[in-house]
Amino acid sequence: MDKAHLNLIFHISDLAQSNYLPNHNINPDSISSFGQLWHFTAPASSNGLSEQFQAQSLVYTPSSTGTQVVLAFSMQNKIYSLDAVNGTLYATRDLSTGGEVPFLVTDLPGCYDITPLIGITGTPVIDPSTDTIYFWAKSYISPSQAGKGWQNGTYRFHAVDAVTLQERPGFPVSLQGHPGM
């Protein structure tokens, strides 16, 4: 059984690049050393492929809970919300159970830098005024199109609640088409 390990690297910054945002519990004045606090092993995947994390994990404190979390986004279109202090899994969401099967790299001729799946690859953003996470996920127009060529791929733009990981009303929005259209 393949298991993926999420090794967490904290990148904390703001628009001024001072490397500090006040909406979490890490105060740079009180940190004397860095080290691994905990380890998370993603659950076994139903497709037999190892879980991979291309998007940067986010450290966030939702205003509704006040509890600092680490949000991780996988190439298999899965989202994990973990306690930032001890790694306890708070919530998980598998977009493929809703029909968003991650896109197979083999459907993109000449793509060799990411393998074997393209799901959530870009680092999401969070709107702290609404505790909403925004991100893109690559999948197929429908699950039946999986493995049938790049023409059947689509990107869906998601807006999910930072606590429950449930979709906000009106989302996801699908973007598809071909260059030159």
CATH code of the domain containing 152: 2.40.128
Q: Is the confidence at residue 10, as pLDDT, over 50?
A: no
pLDDT band at 5 (very low <50, low <70, confident <90, very high): very low
Residue 97 lies inside a defined structural domain of this protein:
yes
> CA 77 to CA 70: how far, in whole Å?
17
Q: What is the mean pLDDT of residues 55-61?
A: 90
Residue 38 lies inside a defined structural domain of this protein:
no
| φ/ψ of residue 17, rounded to 5 | 60, 35
Instruction: Name the β-bridge partners of 78.
Output: 94
pLDDT of residue 27: 61
Instruction: Name the β-bridge partners of 69.
Output: 60, 83
pLDDT of residue 175: 81
Q: What is the 3-state secondary structure (H, E, C) of 25-76?
A: CCCHHHCCCCCCCCCEECCCCCCCCCCCCCCCCEEECCCCCCCCEEEEECCC
Peptide bond into 116 cis (omega under 30): yes
Q: What is the largest CA-CA distance in the chain?
A: 55
Residue 36 lies inside a defined structural domain of this protein:
no
Q: Is residue 24 classed exposed, middle or buried when 0-12, 13-18 and 19+ CB atoms within 10 A define those classes? A: middle
Most confident segment among 13-17, 23-27, 48-52: 48-52
State pLDDT tens for residues 96-134. 887 788 888 888 877 667 778 888 989 999 999 999 999
pLDDT of residue 22: 62
Residue 126 lies inside a defined structural domain of this protein:
yes
Residue 181 lies inside a defined structural domain of this protein:
no
Q: Is the confidence at residue 9, as pLDDT, over 70?
A: no
> CA 165 to CA 7: how far, in whole Å?
21
Residue 164 lies inside a defined structural domain of this protein:
yes
Domain span holding position 115: 5-31+49-175
Report the half-sphere exposure of 178 (CA within 13 A, side-chain side): 5
pLDDT band at 136 (very low <50, low <70, confident <90, very high): very high
Residue 42 lies inside a defined structural domain of this protein:
no
Residue 77 lies inside a defined structural domain of this protein:
yes
Strands 117-118 and 125-127: unpaired
Q: Is the confidence at residue 25, as pLDDT, over 70?
A: no
Q: Structurally, how many domains does the chain consist of?
A: 1
pLDDT of residue 177: 61
pLDDT of residue 7: 39
Q: Is the confidence at residue 81, as pLDDT, over 90?
A: yes
